[in-house]
A and B are shown apart, each in its own frame.
Chain A
Amino acid sequence: MPAAKSTRGDIAIVGYAQTPSLRDANPSEVQLLVPTVTAAIEMAGIGRREIGFTCAGSCDYLTGGPFAFVSNLEAAGAWPPISESHVEADGAWAMYEAWMRLQEGDIDIALAFGSGKSSPSNPAEVWAQQLDPYYLAPLGVDPVSLAGIQARALLDSGKATEEDFARAVVNSRRNAASNPNAQLRDADASVEALMAQPYFRAPLRKHDCPPISDGAVAVVMARGDRARELCARPAWIRGMDHRIEAHQPGVRDLTSSPSTALAARKAGYDGGPLDVVELCGTFSPQELILLDALGLSLDGDTKVNPSGGALAGNPIMAVGLVRIAEAAARIIDGSANRALAHATGGPLLQQNLVCLLEGE
């Protein structure tokens, strides 16, 4: 086998597709994926059999069946057999694995997808199970309550106010108004109107929390000249990195996200100008924490979550890869030249992934 040259920095997104974020989709998860994966492949202009590696991200706890992820693979066309893998994580981590695989240099095209239907389950019940089995899971601590603790810590630290939370939501709702795939859209959203709403889980109001969503997303990556052949303006992946903090939220400073800052640095983000940032802050205070970790703000030159972000649609297990697809879309359509996308996993921003994308 010839020695493969390092191809890091020479891999690009050349196709993507997503379903709208839906409160309650009747099709099964794999039925959501079939047209989505096909659309991403068609956008890339490749044949299905040209894909050298496929990686999928999903969560059997969401689907409610052991090995549910296996049928999702049928959306990739798994006969005759293909080279594939699965991560029990957001599709962004599937993309990370596929990107690593491409760097071996022996294949030119890889497919990553993520999917999840939150509607059949009670997310408060399901996500308590990702906490440690001794102290927190038996208490049944749900994501909204945990996010409330984080929001309170952020207020107490003086880093943000409840109005700041509302400002993040206004940015999301207004941007989402022009995104047909978003679930919660409101071109007229205002801080005053949001602040007049009652608390849902104090200090969080309902709009500070993500919607319950079903959805799927797929991304096609290609290497070097193959990427240039397939796409007039590929979204080059300059770097991708993910970092993990302590699992137990009680031992962390919940008001900051050092793992996001580190992942961004390792992905090659040097603090230089960014046209777009797509953040997977599923609660409004988390969006502020992430912006702070990246040295950005809602008022800066960088457009924050032009898609509306996770507050406008939260198809868990797809939502992170959606952020990357949205950032790539801005590069490919020429409206941005440098974009950063973020995905998260675990309780309260425990794990964070950053992907830095650039045009030519």
Chain B
Amino acid sequence: MTDTAKEHMVMEHLVTLTYHERLTENLNRYADNLLEGRIIGAKCPSCGRVFVPSKGYCSLCVVPTTEADELELPDTGIVTGFTIIAPVNYYGQKKTEPFVYASVLLDGADTTLGGMDITGVAHSDLRSGMRVKAKWKPRGERSVEAMSNRGWGGFGDVVESFEATGEPDADEEAFKEHLF
């Protein structure tokens, strides 16, 4: 019940739903490799696009991909797009200082890794096209606990960040089709 002047009746109805889910076979292999410091993607046997991580199918050709279509990718790439978030103190928000949320297109990939931190550069100097390289966490600190079949989570807990390499920026042509 509330203590407001008006006599609204408030009923608490807290719902907890629990899900137990195994990673799909393709994500399981991806997770195992991440823990070893390797990034694998899947190349569509029809169009040749490389998905990181593998979805188990190509979403454009609608054909399945299998372990035979998987390949290792380098841990270097390009910042395609980014935002700098000034955290609001909402429930669950652990950050207190502005932080980067960037999409990174690995060299040889056609899909981006989202929500990546970019380090080695001032926020004011961050640019699309900037070359970056993964800064891996020490082996024992890597985790894939947050990874799910729903398409998010995981990568952020095996690397500290992507760090600017200082190489010349990539041409916009290299990433303009892969902004997100």
| Residues on A facing B (Cβ under 8 Å) | 26-28, 30-31, 34-35, 37-38, 48, 61, 63-65, 68, 71, 74-79, 120-122, 125-126, 129, 133-134, 137-138
Q: Does B166 contact A (CB under 8 A)?
A: no
Determine how close the nearest CB of chain B comes to the CB of A171; give it in whole angstroms: 34
Determine how close the nearest CB of chain B comes to the CB of A44; give it in whole angstroms: 15
Residue of A nearest to B62 (CB): A77
Docked CA distance A138–B24 (Å): 34
Q: Does B150 contact A (CB under 8 A)?
A: yes
Question: What residues of chain B lie closer than 8 Å to A35, measured between beta carbons?
Answer: 64
Chain B interface, number of residues (Cβ within 8 angstroms): 25
Residue of A nearest to B15 (CB): A129
B62, A38: Cβ atoms closer than 8 Å: yes
Docked CA distance A28–B19 (Å): 14
Question: What residues of chain B lie closer than 8 Å to A126, measured between beta carbons?
Answer: 17
Can you list 24 A-B contacts (CB < 8 A)? A26-B25, A28-B56, A28-B149, A31-B24, A31-B55, A31-B56, A31-B57, A34-B62, A38-B62, A61-B17, A64-B150, A65-B150, A68-B150, A71-B151, A76-B62, A77-B62, A121-B17, A121-B19, A125-B16, A125-B17, A126-B17, A129-B17, A138-B11, A138-B13
B62, A48: Cβ atoms closer than 8 Å: yes
Residue of B nearest to A129 (CB): B15
When the two chains form the complex, which single residue of B11, B20, B56, B57 contacts A120, counting CB atoms closer than 8 Å? B20
Q: Does B93 contact A (CB under 8 A)?
A: no
Question: What residues of chain B lie closer than 8 Å to A122, measured between beta carbons?
Answer: 17-18
Q: Does B4 contact A (CB under 8 A)?
A: no
Docked CA distance A77–B151 (Å): 18
Docked CA distance A120–B15 (Å): 17
Of residues 131 to 166 in B, which have CB atoms within 8 Å of A's CB atoms?
148-151
Question: What residues of chain A lie closer than 8 Å to B24, measured between beta carbons?
Answer: 26-28, 31
| Residues on B facing A (Cβ under 8 Å) | 11, 13, 15-22, 24-25, 55-57, 59-64, 148-151
B62, A75: Cβ atoms closer than 8 Å: yes
Instruction: Give the interface centre of A64, A68, A138 by most chain B CB atoms within 10 Å.
Output: A64
When the two chains form the complex, which single residue of A30, A38, A64 contacts B19, counting CB atoms closer than 8 Å? A64
Residue of A nearest to B28 (CB): A26
14 A-B pairs besides A27-B56, A34-B57, A48-B62 with CB distance below 8 A are A27-B24, A28-B56, A28-B149, A31-B55, A35-B64, A64-B21, A65-B148, A74-B55, A76-B62, A79-B59, A79-B60, A122-B18, A125-B17, A129-B17
Question: What residues of chain B lie closer than 8 Å to A120, measured between beta carbons?
Answer: 19-21
Docked CA distance A241–B60 (Å): 35
Question: What residues of chain B lie closer than 8 Å to A61, measured between beta carbons?
Answer: 17
